[in-house]
Amino acid sequence: MKNHFSAKAAFVCLSMVFAACERAAIDYSGIADARARWRSHGFKNYSIEQKRICFCPPPHGFVRLTIKDKTIVEAIDLDNGQPLPKEKLDWFQTVDELFVWIESARAQNPVRLDVEYDAVYGYPRKIDFDYGENIADDELSIEIQALKK
């Protein structure tokens, strides 16, 4: 009787382990899943750090963006601690704007559009974009980190 119970207990434990592995192996790379995850958290007011790597004017390091009511209201250059002038806020995007940009970029059939999404919150953590092979200085990389509600 004892061996029969142990076999059942072992089977139940193994089943739970395999189920956990199956859940961990779900691919969340699709934009629909990531956007759904992002929306499910209801972020309207938050801050993120965003870095743009491109052939463009500074800042080239991370910038802390403060978003209120889904609008960027402040940007601080983390290399020097200085706020960016209001006219430079348009250089950056909120998470919702990034989702729209990714869809727009995808529709242009670029030679490369790689996006890594945050597994918990769904926001794009890294975007690598190249519109055309024979076009100079059209590449853009965006990194996002340090989400805070």
pLDDT tens digit sequence for 99-141: 999 999 999 899 999 999 999 999 999 999 998 887 777 799 9
Domain carrying residue 106: 29-148
Q: What is the pLDDT of residues 77-91, one digit of tens each?
A: 999 999 999 999 999
In a domain, 8, yes or no: no
Place of tokens 């890294």: 126
Residue 52 inside a domain? The answer is yes
Say what the pTM is. 0.76
Residue 59 has pLDDT above 60, yes or no: yes
In a domain, 12, yes or no: no
Q: Look at residue 15 and tell me if it is in a domain.
A: no
Closest by CA position to 128, among listed 142, 118, 117, 138 = 142
What total number of domains does the chain contain? 1
